[in-house]
Chains A and B, each alone.
Chain A
């Protein structure tokens, strides 16, 4: 195998070359770094890019991921490497420990890249514009956003600056950028993958998941990052099947539901027609398609922004300048006020606008006198939304929707309109509220050459069904093979 294009290969392809001894891990790293050095200036998928910091060149042993480099979002802790959530408040923070997913990947032989991928600060955003390091640029059109918040991970995979990457998804942060960048992204069932070491945004919604070049790599990666973790009480003690076994299974007779609430005003007409083509393709593969209703869909966005910001306001309270990250002080203050001024200055200077906005929103909805009207009510509606899905999954194997109502928008287009930005998560948020797994796979391109994503959702802990359908679809379409010309 020629070593110059190793960066474009999948894990499955690279593993076979590594096993046969044709290539070494260092060849892959070199190839990735060469590519990154050519395109990083434009894409900016990584933060503080200066090589990929593949500090451990795994020996040529026979572990299932030996020699495979993995790019990691800036909010997943890697021991001794900067993990800053693309926030000034965590400038220079190097965790003293590895996140459980990192530990598991290392144990499987993977090489964790120390240079992290770009993201919206604390995963607050849908475009990666809210990064303290500046936005990433979409490899398909550098003037457009990569989506977010795991935009750097998606852009790195899409531009072949990464083989696979980890992202995190609280309301669509893996799936939406995967869709915008034309790659595969999975948000696992809540509790499928350990959150230990993921710097929390909204604890009851966050999940770590893979962003990959195809469905096969996604399933393979899930084999290694899933499963119980004694360090995460919300991680389920449910056996992890071999997800790669689902690849190639027949999907004839699979029952898919199309929620009518997802195909209404606000959906880009091009995205809509590409989606219908994809649905027809699935029909052709033997999938039974029916229209259903998820009646509480319209409440998903407001409910999400109450719950997610409430939890975020709490999770972010630890960034105070005391132990790590930024500490801004006003030494002029008298002893009594100095502590409070340190809190205020640290948080005032450390957090970007969106972080401040969300902390304020969350603090408000948890406040005395407002809790019942906002947070508690949101929790109740969340249950209704969950029940909507439960009812559909009583009769159907999966639900099919667009991943995003639009393709990648222009950088700056929505950054001054938070509400508009929030609505770009309208199709992805419900899966987080319901805790169910959802995958985004490329399903076509607009006239402008921008990728569109197809979202498949399944019942809790039924990732296998997602892989089965997504793989069958992928095998019968060319989209995942398309490469951005960069």
Chain B
């Protein structure tokens, strides 16, 4: 029985206004090479100057990940040649990272599991290479953007745990407001180290490093593939070679990129252009003060304050903006228990958002309108549940209040018995066999007849009222 031993290296681009060692803007999506200066282009004679906001963000993340934040930190040069790296060295941190020895608790089937964080360090990003028609172009807009590297210990034991770790890590960092953590935009990147060993063994196996992981799903899939591949090698008695492997999305396989013999010597040494930095205890305390409520705390508060299940609150808090969106609505819902509102948020609203490729917080439905709809459906039973969802969709589309949509589309639920009598008479007359079935004890037939009433009223009949009337009528008075 084998188990996987996994460690993740996550790079997060910090969303400071300026780059980490110069004043250039970090705005995404600008014309290539328009956000550059002699410093981030690595021009001769230019010198880096630390953007302290980036360092503060790094400290913030370190604290949120329960790390010990170092009062004395410094930068180092990491050397390698690549055209996207203007100086052919990257200003990074080697032996004195901003933060180290932290942890992140993730949810696994049975409960919580602690994944230790080895280190969190600040560095500069490289530019971007664009390959086109047999030539390569470089865009240095990204060069010098602040990047945080977060390295876990090899405490992760399955691809699923890796996935959970990433989801939680992303959520925490988004809560801190220091990064968008958007894998598509490259503001979150992940490399994974994986080896296998016999379950219970204490020695680590030979690892592969996986790169080119462009989504959380790719992380999970590639780890699953790689665990299988390594296990296959082990079982057939072949050697596992230490190497860097690329995930190929199309073929769902990992392919060799380079082996350890080609591993690089980065020739780290202290960056002489930047003196070491002292971050005082007072400053660290001040940054700690600025850490907002994090997802885990918010989840338990939602459970306690709003009477939600762990599952529901978990879904609602994972994205900070969604949690705030939800909470805004909880606050003005009159009942103490917010379960109804949560159901509408997680159910219909999330579905509508997903259809539109959005998150719920991006939908332009005012809290008042949203809650009015829930009240109309759930309390006043003015419209049916099904039509309620249709109204909600229309609300997302047009921004109109629910009452207006209900009126325009004539969707008011018919709950008064008198107005339904005629339709019910017709249904009874048209469905003699079902009526007989019901009378002979097949209770299912009643639901069919209710369905027919719904159909006749274009969904407007209050199904409960319709059912009551049908039952009364067929029970033979």
Interface on A for B, CB 8 Å cutoff? Answer: 75-77, 83, 85, 90, 93, 95-97, 99, 195-200, 202-204, 230-234, 310-311, 313-314, 317-320, 322-324, 335, 339, 343, 363, 366-368, 371, 375
Contacts and interface: CB of A to CB of B under 8 A. Distances in A.
Nearest to A369: B265
A230 B79 CA distance: 26
Contacts of B89: 314, 317
Given A85-B44, A320-B88, A366-B79, 9 more contacts: A97-B43, A196-B45, A197-B46, A200-B273, A204-B272, A233-B275, A234-B273, A234-B275, A318-B87
A233 B47 contact: yes
A323 B87 contact: no
B402 interface: no
B269 A96 contact: no
A95 B273 contact: no
B72 to A, nearest CB: 16
A343 B80 CA distance: 12
Contacts of A97: 38, 43, 46
Contacts of A83: 44-45
* Most B Cβ at <10 Å: residue of A93, A322, A339: A322
B274 A233 contact: yes
A230 B23 CA distance: 11
Contacts of B50: 233
B47 A195 contact: yes
A320 B48 contact: no
Contacts, number: 101
A204 B274 CA distance: 10
A323 B134 CA distance: 19
B448 interface: no
Contacts of A76: 45
Nearest to A85: B44
A110 to B, nearest CB: 19
A317 B81 contact: yes
A199 B89 CA distance: 16
Interface string B43-84: 111111110000000000000000000000000010101010
Nearest to A97: B38
B255 interface: no
Contact of A233 (B49, B134, B268, B269): B49
A199 B45 contact: yes
A317 B45 contact: no
B42 interface: yes
A366 B38 contact: no
8 contacts: A97-B43, A199-B44, A232-B273, A314-B79, A322-B86, A322-B138, A324-B44, A366-B267
B41 interface: yes
A75 B45 CA distance: 8
Interface of B: 38, 41-50, 77, 79, 81, 83, 86-89, 134, 138, 265, 267-269, 272-275
A123 B45 CA distance: 13
A232 B267 CA distance: 24
A326 to B, nearest CB: 13
Nearest to A198: B45
A22 B329 CA distance: 82
A195 B87 CA distance: 17
Contact of B45 (A99, A343, A366): A99
B273 A203 contact: yes
A335 B136 CA distance: 10
Contacts of A363: 267
A368 B265 contact: yes
Q: Which 9 A-B pairs have the closest CB atoms?
A: A203-B272, A317-B88, A366-B267, A204-B272, A199-B44, A197-B45, A77-B45, A318-B87, A368-B265
Contact of B49 (A195, A230, A320, A343): A230
A197 B38 CA distance: 10
Contacts of A318: 42, 44, 86-88
Contact of B41 (A204, A230, A310, A323): A323
B35 to A, nearest CB: 15
Contacts of B81: 317, 320, 343
A90 B47 contact: no
B267 A367 contact: yes
A438 to B, nearest CB: 20
Nearest to A342: B83
A324 B38 CA distance: 12
A314 B267 contact: yes
Contacts of B43: 95-97, 323-324
A446 to B, nearest CB: 38
Given A233-B50, A343-B81, A77 B272 contact: no
B48 A233 contact: yes
A90 B79 CA distance: 21
Contacts of A368: 265, 267
Contacts of B87: 317-318
Given A318-B87, A367-B265, A90 B44 contact: yes
B44 A196 contact: no
Contacts of B41: 323
